[in-house]
Amino acid sequence: MDKGHEKEIREAFLSYLDDYFHQRDFERTIAHFGRHISGFGSSRDENTYTYERCYETFKRDIEEVPNRIDYEIKELNISSPLEDIGFLSCELDIWTTIRGQTLRFNDLRYTLAFIREKGRWLIEQKHLSLPSTENEEDEPYPIKELEERNKVLHRMVDEKTKELNSSLETISELANNDYLTGIANRYRINKILKGLIERVSEESGAFSVILMDLDDFKSVNDTSGHLTGDEFLVKTARFLEKHCGEDGIVGRWGGDEFIVIYPDKTEKAALVYGEKLRNAYERAFCDEGYSLTMSLGVSEYCPGDNIETIISRCDRGVYAAKAKGKNSLCVE
């Protein structure tokens, strides 16, 4: 077990005891409980299965006995089977004085399940019982405690598993998709190109790539600001997804450069797609009062190619299109 976790759980427990027993502070006591708190007290009506029920029980408890309760911890054991889950069990002697009379209970058995949320260890399940020599029908210890503890552990493990899966999905999304436009980023495009190169090298076939650079995009940022520029980058991504055809794979290569991969398409077919994209893009943004166009370079896979050689030919095509006056498509 992580010693740091043991220390944190111990401190959380002692803080709870101070707020509950010593301070008798209802609000601070309730703040130690997680959103799924449940458990058993020492009397028949102290079974709590919801946060609301727990709230009512502790409110009544502190209102009826507001005076300080002293305690002594005789045994204390802590375990943490998972990173954010911990269990604590102990024996307590507690006593208090009411109207000159000292009331004392010895050897109370306390068991708590903790879950760590946002850096805090919160109580998710609690059990308090008085020891007896035999287990009566309605006495919850020890079988009921074990049942509840098992349920709590399963539930908390399920919750943490869901959180982990959600986090992994988010990480995967961030790793493979462009943060601004949501389309494939350069890392994912490189993986796709690598897979296509391996497939075509082994099985023969073809695929083509179109690299496109927005013409004079800097003027949009300079005249309308970077937020407007970002809006047009997002609109460009949506435009390409809509117009690239069913087989086209759209990605953002970087900055104002976009890329479309056409598996199983020759250079001739890619040129047809590229020319349609160029014409449609010019018309789409003229309607919004901007004269945005793009320069495109096209390349088909050749035997012996790698990612760098394919992209290099596309780059040269883009430069050639720019040299021709922009808003055009070239093959190098």
Higher-pLDDT residue of 310, 176? 310
- List b or e across 301-314, with b for residues whose CB sees 16 or more CB atoms inside 10 angstroms: beeebebeebbebb
At 189, the pLDDT band (50, 70, 90 cuts) reads very high
pLDDT for residue 43: 58
User: Dmax of the chain from CA atoms?
Assistant: 101
- Which of 11-15, 24-28, 223-227, 312-316 has the weakest average pLDDT? 223-227
pLDDT for residue 284: 83
At 89, the pLDDT band (50, 70, 90 cuts) reads very high
User: Is residue 3 over pLDDT 90?
Assistant: no
Phi-psi region of 204 (alpha: psi -120 to 50; beta: other; left: phi over 0): left
pLDDT for residue 81: 81
Alpha carbon distance 83, 95 (integer Å): 35
CATH class, range 3-173: alpha beta
One-letter amino acid for residue 210 of the chain? I
Residue reference for tokens 């893009």 = 281
**Closest to 98 measured CA to CA, from 151, 158, 24, 171:** 24
pLDDT single digits (tens) 257-268:
999 999 999 999
CATH number of 186-331: 3.30.70.270
Alpha carbon distance 99, 165 (integer Å): 56
**Closest to 152 measured CA to CA, from 128, 127, 124, 129:** 124
Q: Please, where in the chain does CATH 3.30.70.270 lie? A: 186-331
Distance of CA 153 to the CA centre of its chain: 22
Alpha carbon distance 26, 30 (integer Å): 6
Report how far apart, in Å, the C-alpha atoms of 253 and of each of 141, 237, 257 are. Answer: 63, 11, 5
- For the sheet with 329-331, list strands across it: 249-254, 257-263, 207-214, 294-300, 329-331
Alpha carbon distance 242, 141 (integer Å): 64
pLDDT for residue 126: 87
Q: Please, where in the chain does CATH 3.10.450.50 lie? A: 3-173
Q: What is the mean pLDDT of the chain?
A: 84
> Both tokens of residue 286?
């003229």
pLDDT for residue 49: 72
295: three-class secondary structure by DSSP: strand
